């Protein structure tokens, strides 16, 4: 007797890079830790707050800080244990078993994974040189999809769609639109401020990238009242722990603003990679990373790991490299130069 459900038998765990590396450019994290003044405020709070009680089930203070930071209505915001939890809850609460989800690949792999757990049908369309939101809209209509999800800017390619193009897509789309703005703190085309005006739209945000708070596992969904209410019903009542709520609040109320710097670093990284790898296809980026195609991507990836530099490899010939400080990027460039000499 096999006691594992059929939907789980062909699935494997997500396996991020593990181990100690002197330079981590694989997960699109910020190279900057949370500032010490914020940590000191958190330490004072921790010394006077007992952890023997459950956290605020509604994350009131955290949601208020997020709402103030981004100029949205706090009642239209729900907090989650990372965007991953919210994606999973959205699939569970807003889609019925058998409903279909449209995804244009390459995209964040967990979209399809969580849809599969919810026993939704996933329709994939492959991005090409002519891919646009019009292409995606035609695909959604062709498949009669109940929902569509995409990241803007895109993870892993870095492609970005301007605000008006996204809003036009949402207006024309007959499906639930889930727009993941995890990397929008590195760009200026967010639709967050108007997303609650559309009955078919949810926007996702995170503190894991520009804010340097990946370890807190904090994500947010913003949308129309009916959608947010459904997510609140489906999520766990104490889904965000007290420590993350408080430190997340302090981070949002602080003066952390590394998005612009890291977006500039990504452009510098793109230029330098085109010099070091002249035969690579470097994708334009609106995020804090660069996505490239190169025939020796796997050798470069393995060579970088051996030299203590971690980047993200996508089979068969793609790399995604996170922008960082000049010091860390200099180590990356030296390592690539050394690797390419050995491949000549």
Predicted confidence (pLDDT) at residue 16 exceeds the cutoff of 80: no
Q: What percent of the chain has pLDDT over 70?
A: 100
Answer for the pair 216, 207: CB distance below 8 angstroms, yes or no: yes
What is the pLDDT at residue 178? 98
Predicted confidence (pLDDT) at residue 301 exceeds the cutoff of 80: yes
Residue 127 lies in a domain: yes
Residues 155 and 123 in one domain: yes
Residues 83 and 50 in one domain: yes
What is the pLDDT at residue 18? 78
On average, the pLDDT of the chain sits at 96
What is the pLDDT at residue 252? 98
Give CA–CA dist 44/218, Å, rounded: 21
Residue-wise pLDDT tens digits, 82-118: 999 999 999 999 999 999 999 999 999 999 999 999 9
What is the pLDDT at residue 343? 86
Residue span of the structural domain in which 328 resides? 6-32+258-343
- pLDDT, average across residues 156-165: 98
Return the closest-CA partner of residue 250 out of 34, 98, 12, 92. 34
Residue 57 lies in a domain: yes
Residue 1 lies in a domain: no
Measured in whole angstroms, the distance separating CA 302 from the mean position of its chain's CA atoms is 25
Answer for the pair 325, 24: CB distance below 8 angstroms, yes or no: no
Tally of domains in the chain: 2
Q: For residue 184, what is the domain's CATH number?
A: 3.40.640.10
Residues 201 and 308 in one domain: no
Beginning with the edge strand found earlier in the chain, give each strand of the sheet holding 23-25 in spatial order: 23-25, 309-314, 318-322, 289-293, 281-282
Q: How confident is the model at residue 342 (pLDDT cuts 50, 70, 90)?
A: confident
Q: Against a cut of 0.85, is the pTM above it?
A: yes
What is the pLDDT at residue 50? 80
Strands (E), the chain: 23-25, 77-81, 100-105, 121-126, 147-151, 176-180, 201-206, 218-223, 281-282, 289-293, 309-314, 318-322
Answer for the pair 95, 101: CB distance below 8 angstroms, yes or no: yes
Residues 210 and 272 in one domain: no
Residue-wise pLDDT tens digits, 18-33: 788 999 999 999 999 9
């Amino acid at each position: 007797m096999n006691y594992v459900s059929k939907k789980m038998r062909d699935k494997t765990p997500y396996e991020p890079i593990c181990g100690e590396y002197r330079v981590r450019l694989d997960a699109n994290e910020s190279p900057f830790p949370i500032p010490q003044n914020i940590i000191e405020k958190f330490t004072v709070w921790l010394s006077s707050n007992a952890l023997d009680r459950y956290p605020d089930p509604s994350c009131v203070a955290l949601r208020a800080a997020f709402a103030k930071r981004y100029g949205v209505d706090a009642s239209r915001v729900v907090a989650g244990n990372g965007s991953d939890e919210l994606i999973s809850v959205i699939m569970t609460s807003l889609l019925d078993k058998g409903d279909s989800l449209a995804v244009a690949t390459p995209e964040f792999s967990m979209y399809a994974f969580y849809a599969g757990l919810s026993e939704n049908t996933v329709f994939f369309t492959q991005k090409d040189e002519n891919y646009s939101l019009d292409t995606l809209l035609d695909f959604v209509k062709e498949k009669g999809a109940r929902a569509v999800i995409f990241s803007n800017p895109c993870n892993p390619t870095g492609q970005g769609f301007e605000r008006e193009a996204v809003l036009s897509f949402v207006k024309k789309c007959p499906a639930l639109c889930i727009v993941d703005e995890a990397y929008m703190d590195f760009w200026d085309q967010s639709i967050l401020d108007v997303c609650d005006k559309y009955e078919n739209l949810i926007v996702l945000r995170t503190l894991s990238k520009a804010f340097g708070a990946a370890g807190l596992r904090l994500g947010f969904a913003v949308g129309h009242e009916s959608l947010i209410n459904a997510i609140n019903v489906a999520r766990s009542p104490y889904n965000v722990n007290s420590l993350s709520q408080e430190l997340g609040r302090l981070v949002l109320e602080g003066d952390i603003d590394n998005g612009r710097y890291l977006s500039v670093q990504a452009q510098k990284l793109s230029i330098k990679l085109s010099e070091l790898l002249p035969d690579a296809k470097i994708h334009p980026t609106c995020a804090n990373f660069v996505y490239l195609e190169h025939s020796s991507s796997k050798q470069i990836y393995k060579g970088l790991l051996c030299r203590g530099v971690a980047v993200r490899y996508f089979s068969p010939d793609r790399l995604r490299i996170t922008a960082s400080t000049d010091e860390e990027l200099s180590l990356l460039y030296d390592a690539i130069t050394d690797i390419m000499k050995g491949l000549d």
